[in-house]
Structure 1
Amino acid sequence: MKTVLITGANKSIGFETARQLAKQGYFIYLGSRDINNGTQAADTLKAEGLSNVEAIAIDVCDKASIEAARKTIEAKSGLLDVLVNNAGILGIQPQNASDMNTDEIRKVFDTNFFGTIDVTQAFISLLEKAEVPVIVNVTSGLGSLTLHSDPNWKYYPYKTAAYGTSKTAQNAYTVVLAAELKDKGFKVNAIDPGYTATDFNNHSGPNSVEYAAAFVARYAVLDANGPTGNYFSPDIETENNESPW
């Protein structure tokens, strides 16, 4: 049974992605900063008949927590097939580039950007043992510089000095990481689940959590022929949903 670690998996898109991948036969480690919240989420899935799930404590802003999670998964499974870097924060509002406190910007970057890097680097050695290692970096359309430069883009007015820029940085890291790991057979992509109704945005998004999670899950189950080094979004209405950087 292939193994998956999803950070921030105790609620919203992360939780629903865990549910959908568990239904496809993957063993899911539900990463949660608060193990009690993670355990409750795992118990919910187990009550639905999905026994192939386990809560694991992981705070993406705490290297000791990340290392402890890595050791736990290594001891239990020996390897990791899929890493979904889903944990993220929006940050305080508003986020004006001209006056947002840089301490608040750093908080967002610590989770969305540096957290992704720290988790990825910690689990590379376990992913290398997989037949087809997959890394999904959950991003946002707000990270696209091309779209943000287009006044006709429907989300053009939504500029965020911390959240959007942290996702732009995460996208750049995805490009570099994918190129570095390509010859090792890794599939590394940036996946925007689309504007989704969650507590992240006061449930203002038009897409459902189920729809968003299905899009994320699609890129978690790639085989050796799958794409790598790409940026995909359901909001890009083309045949392959590839988004411009």
Structure 2
Amino acid sequence: MRLNAGFKVLKGDYPSNIDPEVLSETLAINVIGPAIVFREFVSLLEHSERPVVVNVTSGLGSISSTNSGAPASYSISKAALNMLTIKQAKEKPHFICLAMDPGWVKTGTFTVNLIPPS
């Protein structure tokens, strides 16, 4: 089971001017959504020979390597998703639970010059 959702991230989203509605929406998409999907599918995963949960995260949610230019709501939500993944793994030690950072992916969420694969 792979859990990921992409959506528009606001520029200028800093802790000092965080919009509670934007933070709530971002947490709903990046944390609450995957938590609900996990809850609803856990009984099916229990029947799998090799249950795997992959939560798609971002390096922007890393506590140890912060990026001050990253939108606060997005970074906060991805840090929370990382913790959700740890909690899932602790609760279900027979599951393989991963928080995977795919790196920069051309989705339109962020603007970055990506080199096409060779």
Q: RMSD across aligned C-alpha pairs, in angstroms?
A: 1.7
Structure 1 residue 197 and structure 2 residue 115: aligned?
no
CA distance in 2, matches of 1:106, 1:176: 21
Residues 166 and 92 from structure 1, CA distance in 2 versus in 1: closer, same or farther, beyond 3 angstroms? Answer: same
Write the letter of the residue equivalent to 1:139: T
Unaligned 5+ runs, structure 2:
none
CA distance in 2, matches of 1:145, 1:197: 24
- How far apart are 1:205 and its partner, in Å? 4.9
Q: Is the 8 A contact 1:139 1:170 kept in 2?
A: yes
Give 2:5's aligned residue.
87
CA distance in 2, matches of 1:207, 1:121: 38
TM-score (structure 1 length as normaliser):
0.45
Q: Is the 8 A contact 2:10 2:71 kept in 1?
A: no
- How far apart are 1:157 and its partner, in Å? 3.8
Q: Is the 8 A contact 2:89 2:97 kept in 1?
A: yes
- How far apart are 1:159 and its partner, in Å? 2.8
Q: 1:171 aligns with which of 75, 82, 85?
A: 82
Give 1:159's aligned residue.
70
Give 1:187's aligned residue.
96
TM-score (structure 2 length as normaliser):
0.90
- Any idea what SS the aligned residue of 1:188 has? strand
Unaligned 5+ runs, structure 1:
1-82, 149-155, 211-245
Larger RCO, structure (CA 8 Å, separation 6 or more): 2
Residue-by-residue CA offset, 1:4-25 (whole Å, 9 max, x unaligned): xxxxxxxxxxxxxxxxxxxxxx
Write the letter of the residue equivalent to 1:98: S
Residues 102 and 205 from structure 1, CA distance in 2 versus in 1: closer, same or farther, beyond 3 angstroms? Answer: farther
Q: 1:147 aligns with which of 65, 79, 82?
A: 65
Name the larger-Rg structure.
Answer: 1
Q: Is the 8 A contact 1:198 1:205 kept in 2?
A: no
Runs of 4+ residues over 2 Å off in structure 1: 88-93, 156-159, 205-208
Q: Is the 8 A contact 1:90 1:163 kept in 2?
A: no
Give 2:47's aligned residue.
129
Q: Aligned pair count?
A: 117
Q: Is the 8 A contact 1:194 1:207 kept in 2?
A: no
Write the letter of the residue equivalent to 1:125: S
- Any idea what SS the aligned residue of 2:99 has? strand
Give 1:62's aligned residue.
none
